Amino acid sequence: MESKDKAQQIAKILSSKKAQEILIIHVSEKTIIADYFIVASAGSSTLVATLAEEVDFKMGQQGVKPLRMEGVREGRWAVLDYGDVLVHVFHNEEREFYQLERLWADDKNCVKYED
């Protein structure tokens, strides 16, 4: 699966489970870490964990497994590393504090996902 298609699929999964403010940020020109970052918010730590687990489950059904997952149990900032796509699911407070998109996004490389 191409990284752009993977990013779109992950954003769709997050949207279907009520993630908020989903952004797809194309970062390949800024870093070698990944081609895309997906950034999404949730209003509770339970929902952060649920969103991360749902992405893992649904992508796994398509044969795509993360290289690693971090922070799911704590539910404040979960990261799923798919190699070419990094998924960040933040509790609203953490997202506001870290402002990850401010560091990586600009008008030409960031798209707000809308289903």
Rg of the chain taking only CA atoms, in angstroms: 13
The per-residue pLDDT for range 19-63, each reduced to its tens digit, is 999 999 999 989 999 999 999 999 999 999 999 999 999 999 999
What φ, ψ does residue 31 adopt, rounded to 5°? -155, 160
Distances in Å between the Cα of 8 and the Cα atoms of 32, 43, 49, 58, 97 are 20, 22, 20, 13, 26
Q: Is pLDDT of 107 > 80?
A: no
Q: Which fold has domain 3-107?
A: Beta Polymerase; domain 2 (3.30.460)
* pTM for this predicted structure: 0.93
Q: Is pLDDT of 115 > 90?
A: no
Q: Domain map of the chain by residue range?
A: 3-107
User: Across residues 95-107, what is the average pLDDT?
Assistant: 87
